[in-house]
Amino acid sequence: MILSMTSIVLHTKSYTSPARSELPRLEKRLPALLSVIAGTVDVIGFLTLGLFTAHITGNLVVIAALLVRGGPLNISQVLAVPIFAAAVAAVWGIAKALERSGNALARPLLLIQFLLLMCAMIFSIIYGPVANRQSWTSVVIALIAVSAMASQSAFLHLALAGAPSTAVMTGNLTNAVLSLLDTLSPSHPLEEGARARLKKTLTVVVGFLAGCIAGAAAVSILGAWAWSVPVVLAGLAVIWR
């Protein structure tokens, strides 16, 4: 009886839920695809709407410069910061309501990103290329795209905490250079696991660059349909496990 109880306890301790056991696989496969999505969305947003939709840093710089030196203020850039924060908070609220974590949280949050990008594409197709970046259609499309990228960022923090950022390349490039130097150094590395970190960060840097190129090409070739590229990629992220 005692042996049986001991066996049950040991089995319980060694058990890992399916959601948790799939996290390493998700951390390997999803960041590369998400970085391509972030790159396409960032470039399409910059070329057609005049703001960076995938990260907030550039918008903060532009806002600060305009506040100090003056000039026409892009409404989308001003609203991007609070809308990004609100979207992150909304994703957190959805995650809390679902009472899920890790792999179980992946599909619902990736579906949010897909639906938001789909909305941006629909608005772009209906109203066509936006000549006036201060128009309400331009602002709506921009803020929907910002919300989509906020959902991706929140997803990484809530479901794939070990994954690198898929939209902010400054830290990734720094990590890649340091990891490369540690990998090539004949002496003891400054940080352990340099080769694995190098592979992880280079994947997202190359993915983001590829996404930027694809986004620029999409704007030149597809025009108002350019948003269809990140929409298709976001759909793949939802179903690709």
- Interatomic CA distance for residues 219 and 213, integer angstroms: 10
Q: What is the pLDDT of residues 95-119, one digit of tens each?
A: 999 887 777 888 899 999 999 999 9
> For residue 12, what pLDDT band results from cuts at 50, 70 and 90?
very low
pLDDT at residue 234 tops 60 = yes
- Interatomic CA distance for residues 89 and 48, integer angstroms: 27
The whole-model pTM stands at 0.83
pLDDT at residue 13 tops 50 = no
Sign of the C-alpha dihedral computed for residues 176, 178, 181 and 182 taken in this order: negative
Averaged pLDDT for residues 21-41: 81
